[in-house]
Amino acid sequence: MAKVNEDVIIAGGGIGGLAAALGLAETGRTSVVLERAPEFGEVGAGLQLAPNGTAILERLGVMEEISKFAVFPKRLVILDAITGKELTSLDLQEAFKQKYGHPYIVMHRADLHTVLYEACVKKGNIRLMTNSEVEKVEDLEDGARVYLTNGTVYEANAVIGADGIHSKTRKLVSDDQPVCSQYVAYRGTIPMEEITETAGTDPDDVLMWIGPNLHLVQYPVRRGELYNQVVVFKSFKYKPGAEDWKANDWGTPEEMDERFKDTCSHVKHAISFISRKFRWAMWDRNPIDNWTKGHVTLLGDAAHPMLQYMAQGAIQALEDVAQLTNMLHKYGDDYKTAFAEYQKERIPRASKVQTNARNWGEMLHATDPITIMLRNDIFSRRDKYDTTYVDWLYSKRYEEPAFID
């Protein structure tokens, strides 16, 4: 067994884990990030980051670098995947930026991860270790212990579990299981030249095409050089108890074709560019009322995995980092109190986002004609500057303590 030289061990080097290391560095603490993969990196394509997320990236000192890769969309647009008609939009330009003080951006998730990784390397007080899979975490009287699958055992003053939806750290506080949504995603990027423009929209807009049991999201990433596409649909073939989609072969490309057969020509054209090789089943978990045991706490998808329909999973991980950092500033070496106070603020909000994400999915994928009619009617009455439905989400700030430069 080895006590690491660092103050805190972070399990998992995704967006949440790396951002947490930067937050700890802000408090003057050292940390070691244990990543199970042979390299640090991100799988998947695009990421939308609303002002409640970009505000925290600014605080972590990475927003200038991120702006070199990001796209600043003009509008979020919701369209009917069947008729092709625009249903509603949210303007993201000057009035929006002034209201929230921070921009709405879209970017390649690998670019965000790289910027965070490089910021960690530059700090000098963050150690980044690969091939380090955490098997088990224990709380101790005066710290915490981590067991790796390679037999190594480490101890530190505290452990933060940022090890994703299948978190091993979470087992310390809950024996719950992920919940299968029956939805599947196919995603990837294509060269910008391959896209067909949609009348009335700008190539920089975020487009969400919605229909019964399905949606398609499109937006540019990497300074507008690539176009991100995510195709999502509910499987016909899924049966309760057959959650292992690889073994039970649900969510197949043939099902995708069947689901999208009545969509408009733009959506069908977009789908013809989607890689059919890989698919991701969509899981979340029910909210839980405790993320912490003594000197161990959870963050990001390990704490509150959610469906992606509000584009908030990574942002909520960043909100965790901001609040955790504030509590570590406030309570010094008293990790137990800092973690307890952190979750007191964060659990209600993250749980609300988790639950709302499910509800948004129901609304976007509605099948009942009356619900669709009412939804579309409400959408059509909205002004593009109206932020009523998103204000609670985008306006939240975890202000850094006044004594920070």
How many residues form the binding site for ligand FAD (CB under 6 A)? 32
**Cβ-based nearer residue to ligand FAD, 330 or 397:** 397
Give the range of 29-37, 189-197, 329-337, 348-356 binding ligand FAD by CB under 6 A: 29-37
Q: Which tokens hold the place of 291?
A: 């993320």
116 contacts 18 by C-beta, under 8 angstroms: yes
Residue 294: which region, alpha, beta or left (left: phi > 0; alpha: psi -120 to 50)? Answer: left
**Cβ-based nearer residue to ligand FAD, 278 or 385:** 278
**Cβ-based nearer residue to ligand FAD, 14 or 23:** 14
How many angstroms separate the Cα of 288 from the Cα of each of 180, 336, 404? 17, 19, 32
**Cβ-based nearer residue to ligand FAD, 117 or 376:** 117
Positions in 293-332 near ligand FAD (CB under 6 A): 300-301, 308, 311-315, 317
Query: Least CB distance from residue 104 to ligand FAD, whole Å?
Result: 11
Query: Least CB distance from residue 369 to ligand FAD, whole Å?
Result: 28
Site map (CB under 6 A) of ligand FAD, residues 210-249, x = contact: --------------------x-------------------
Query: Least CB distance from residue 317 to ligand FAD, whole Å?
Result: 4
**Cβ-based nearer residue to ligand FAD, 230 or 366:** 230
**Cβ-based nearer residue to ligand FAD, 318 or 366:** 318
Among 8, 9, 10, 15, interactor with ligand FAD by CB under 6 A: 15
Query: Least CB distance from residue 386 to ligand FAD, whole Å?
Result: 21
37 counts as binding ligand FAD under rule CB under 6 A? yes
Among 29, 168, 215, 285, interactor with ligand FAD by CB under 6 A: 168
73 counts as binding ligand FAD under rule CB under 6 A? no
198 counts as binding ligand FAD under rule CB under 6 A? no
Query: Given the rule CB under 6 A, which residues bind ligand FAD?
Result: 11-17, 34-37, 47-48, 133-134, 162-164, 168, 185, 187, 230, 280, 300-301, 308, 311-315, 317
